[in-house]
Amino acid sequence: MSLTIVLLFAVVLSIVFHFIGVYAGAKKTVWIMLLILWAASINIAMNEVKPKAYDDIKQMQGKYEDVDVLIKESLPKISLYEMLVIKKAFNKDEKSLH
């Protein structure tokens, strides 16, 4: 699932919750909840990956030029989102060889 699809789904879900809040008369409560959920989601995506992920990166490094560029741009601390981008590029290159 791509990031675009996830974001589109999140925006649609946010709009649905907004209309539920309007119907229930709790617009402020719903928007505060949505802001907290969005902030938490962004925080999780920007957190640094676990040390095991750096071992995976060492295995991927040096195999494909585009992946090496992504790794170089992401270091020294790699976020969860950056790791997903690197892994997606690596898998795409792996599939193109087979």
d(CA 71, CA 83): 9
What pLDDT was estimated at residue 97? 74
What pLDDT was estimated at residue 57? 86
What pLDDT was estimated at residue 2? 60
d(CA 74, CA 41): 20
For 78, the token pair is 């790699």
What pLDDT was estimated at residue 14? 81
Alpha helices in 1-98 (DSSP H): 3-24, 27-46, 51-60, 65-74, 80-97
What global pTM score does this model have?
Answer: 0.61
What pLDDT was estimated at residue 3? 63
> Where do the structural domains in the chain lie, given as residue ranges?
3-46, 51-97
Provide block-wise average pLDDT over 10 residues at a time, the chain (98 residues): 70 82 80 82 77 85 89 85 87 83
